[in-house]
Amino acid sequence: MTAPRPLVVVGDALLDRDVEGRVRRLAPDAPVPVVDETGVRVRPGGAGLAAALAVADGRPVTLVTALAGDAAGLELRDALERAGVSIVDLALDGTTPEKIRITTGGRSLLRLDRGGEDVVVGPMSAAAREAIGWAAALLVADYGRGVAAQPSVREALALAASVVPIVWDPHPRGPAPVPGVRMVTPNLAEATAVEPQPHGDDAEAIAARAASLARRWEATEVCVTCGARGAVIAGPGFGRRTAAVPARPVQGGDPCGAGDRFASRLAGALADGLDGREAVERAVDAATRFVAAGGAMAAQLGRPQADAEHPVDELLARVRGRGGTVVATGGCFDILHPGHVRTLEAARALGDCLVVCLNSDASVRRLKGDGRPVVGEEDRATVLRALRCVDEVVVFDEDTPVALLERLRPDVWVKGGDYAPEDLPEAEVVAGWGGRIALVPFLQGRSSTHLIREVTAHEL
């Protein structure tokens, strides 16, 4: 599997503060809740979030932005560096834009915005031009704060448009995309504000609006994102065709940051050579899972490889960096037999990598009784890794793999066909991030227990 190709993000970085607290009473002087602060998390926002999410996919990322020298700007720089983002700073004359979210029990109560007014962005630098020149794809994450409107930045982007794919995520306060952009990604409200005709928000009307915007912006394709409904693509790159890409339903979740998740995965997929339709499918799926997992406030930012405790972290980063599908299955696998092998081969065929969650010796003993396992966990893991269909093995000590699945968050969880999905203790947790359960055929008459009995009887 080849390494993910480098991505350059150009745009306005913001500082996000998530203030979590408890509400137990109303204020005595007004009918408003009193929030007792329990914790504060500082993270990159805007283009900074898009860059950090791409890094978390395992991709080399450079962010061309403008940072102020105030206290919030220093916090933002530190947050970006901790997330593994390489920074090219054009310098911001003014105050750092901040978004402060006050939440309780994971629900937002209030958002306070401050700073970022009357700012001046410095000109394009040699370091920024060099970064753009080495990119496999560019993402312009415009938050209307001046980076995408800077004349020298626009000049460099216009030159790059003929060389590498550019994804342009526009903003109502920002400029129009430069000509030649591969894909522009307005949301439905933004697209309707710029191109109100035709009326309606059905797929046909959205596609007509997207095609009109593609002509207006001289873009190859326009992809209108429609929240929980998915996305619609149209434009010269599709000829007379249009494409609607639906999203899987999500119960609950948090949409904060979903647009940055969509745009960063889309740009990464184009960098890796996927066509427009396939790249959008990967982006819709990534954004759906991101929302289901709790959005930006729950996102784990930073390089997956850093401080990795297991090679599986690097494997998942590589696969997800390419927009691939992670498949996992689990079991004791005590004395490997043809039934196991067929299940593993069928599971691997459902995605781009297969991780086996292997019960530890202690876990097997609790489940199967004294005398089991016959083969120790290290030997069982070694035999499994030797199979061509298995990419990695992770041992867990609990009775169920739920905690490990929370860490791995596979797209597909596979079990043998002798189970019913509703009977699996891990079904609910897998559904929580938008994953699905797949049952594969079970080979009758093959089991470790049966083999052990046969061997024991033969010895007697």
Catalytic residues: 260
Distance from the Cα of residue 378 to its chain's centroid: 32
Closest C-alpha to 183, from 220, 149, 231: 220
Spatial separation of the C-alpha atoms in residues 15 and 73, rounded to whole Å: 8
Residues ≥6 apart with Cβ < 8 Å to 418: 442
Spatial separation of the C-alpha atoms in residues 263 and 248, rounded to whole Å: 18
Closest C-alpha to 431, from 448, 412, 415: 412
Where would I find the beta strands (DSSP E) of 252-391? Answer: 326-331, 353-359
- Alpha-helix residue ranges (DSSP H) falling in 360-411: 361-368, 377-385, 402-408
Query: Cis link prior to 4 (omega < 30° from 0)?
Result: no
With contact defined as beta carbons under 8 Å apart, do 158 and 140 qualify? no
Q: Is 30 exposed, middle or buried (0-12, 13-18, 19+ CB in 10 A)?
A: exposed
Spatial separation of the C-alpha atoms in residues 146 and 140, rounded to whole Å: 12
Where would I find the beta strands (DSSP E) of 27-60? Answer: 33-46
- 371: phi > 0 → left, psi -120 to 50 → alpha, else beta; which? left
- β-bridge mates for residue 8, sequence order: 62, 138
Spatial separation of the C-alpha atoms in residues 179 and 215, rounded to whole Å: 10
Spatial separation of the C-alpha atoms in residues 157 and 293, rounded to whole Å: 34
Spatial separation of the C-alpha atoms in residues 283 and 323, rounded to whole Å: 8
**Token pair listed for 224:** 């209108």
Closest C-alpha to 345, from 354, 335, 336: 354
